């Protein structure tokens, strides 16, 4: 579980689970490059992590849906750090809607960022990791990719694609020592709290029964630093060296993946 001195890239590092992952890895002594499209917030997270130490972090702006942007950012990060040991990829977007009226625009941007972005990030990581015959890629799936999502059909489809891609990449890259797994988190973030705050009483009740009631460990979403952070260290480290192609719920028992 020791990742001190590891060289790690974290996407979506400006907020939520990405920001918590930056803090976790820096706190464990790693050298981190945080990437996000939101530059000001990303630099604020990096500055705070550096103050706490003992590792260090820098920020690079990137659009994960654009191959040129991803390849340039990853090449620069690996050159600056002197290599690449792990990539955590929580960066994603979400759009609400329903199956009958989801728009082409929402569908396309969801797949451009969440699916194409995952492919591009993973390919860039693999290209840098394969020559050294080791590395860990940690994608972010969702229970939404396992079940019906009446109010988020494009997000559900996109996360299902991330799950399938994760298994395929793991099978393809195992001989090169590159592991690919996906976290399925039920973790409270500021964005999640804001979304819940917009619901009326009926909406909050429906949300509880669809999402929180099935969380065996307390019927509430977890904390990003306390509950997700240690799992991110495990999957980045050599402690998980014989685990690949897995969908790992970090959700208090909300989902069951077999």
Residue-wise pLDDT for 50-92, tens only, equals 999 999 999 999 999 999 999 999 999 999 999 999 999 999 9
Contact at 8 Å (CB) between 5 and 31?
A: yes
Residue 29 has pLDDT above 80, yes or no: yes
| pLDDT > 70: percent of the chain | 99
Under 8 Å CB-to-CB from 209, ≥6 apart: which residues?
Answer: none
Q: What pLDDT, on the 0 to 100 scale, is given for residue 151?
A: 84
The mean of the pLDDT values for the chain is 95
Point out the residues that are catalytic.
155
Q: What is the pTM of this model?
A: 0.94
Across the chain, which distance is largest between two alpha carbons, in Å? 54
For the chain, state the CA radius of gyration: 17
Looking up tokens 């929180």, which residue turns up?
A: 212
Task: Give the residue-averaged pLDDT of 89-117.
Answer: 94
Under 8 Å CB-to-CB from 27, ≥6 apart: which residues?
Answer: 49, 52, 53, 54, 55, 229
Among 233, 245, 174, 242, which Cα is nearest to 23's? 233
Domains and CATH numbers, the chain: 7-189+225-249 (3.40.50.720)
**Chain centre distance of CA 197:** 24
Q: Which residue has the higher pLDDT, 192 or 71?
A: 71
Residue 157 has pLDDT above 90, yes or no: yes
Q: What's the rounded Cα separation, in Å, for the pair 224 and 15?
A: 11
Number of H helices, E strands in the chain: 9, 9
Q: What pLDDT, on the 0 to 100 scale, is given for residue 258?
A: 65
Two structure tokens written together for 24: 């976790």
Contact at 8 Å (CB) between 103 and 141?
A: no
Q: What's the rounded Cα separation, in Å, for the pair 243 and 225?
A: 23
Task: Give the residue-averaged pLDDT of 194-202.
Answer: 78
Cα dist. 184→49, 94, 115, 141 in Å?
25, 15, 15, 5
């Amino acid at each position: 579980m020791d990742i001190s001195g590891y060289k790690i890239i974290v996407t979506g590092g400006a907020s939520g689970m990405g920001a918590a992952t930056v803090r976790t890895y820096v706190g464990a002594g790693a050298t981190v490059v945080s990437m996000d499209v939101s530059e000001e917030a990303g630099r604020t997270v990096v500055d705070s992590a550096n103050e706490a130490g003992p590792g260090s972090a820098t920020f690079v702006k990137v659009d994960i849906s654009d191959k040129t942007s991803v390849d340039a950012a990853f090449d620069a990060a690996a050159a600056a750090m002197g290599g690449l040991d792990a990539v955590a990829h929580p960066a994603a977007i979400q759009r609400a809607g329903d199956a009958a009226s989801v728009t082409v625009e929402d569908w396309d941007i969801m797949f451009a960022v969440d699916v194409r972005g995952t492919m591009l990030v993973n390919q860039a990581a693999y290209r840098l990791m394969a020559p050294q015959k080791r590395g860990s890629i940690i994608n972010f799936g969702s229970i939404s990719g396992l079940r019906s999502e009446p109010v988020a059909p494009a997000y559900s489809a996109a996360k299902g694609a991330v799950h399938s891609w994760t298994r395929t990449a793991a099978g393809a890259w195992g001989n090169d020592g590159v592991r690919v797994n996906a976290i399925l988190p039920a973790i409270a973030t500021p964005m999640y709290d804001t979304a819940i705050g917009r619901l009326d009483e009926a909406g909050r009740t429906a949300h509880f029964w669809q999402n929180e009631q099935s969380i065996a460990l307390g019927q509430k979403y977890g904390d990003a630093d306390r509950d997700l952070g240690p799992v991110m260290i495990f999957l980045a480290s050599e402690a998980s060296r014989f685990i690949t192609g897995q969908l790992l719920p970090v959700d208090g028992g909300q989902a069951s993946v077999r």
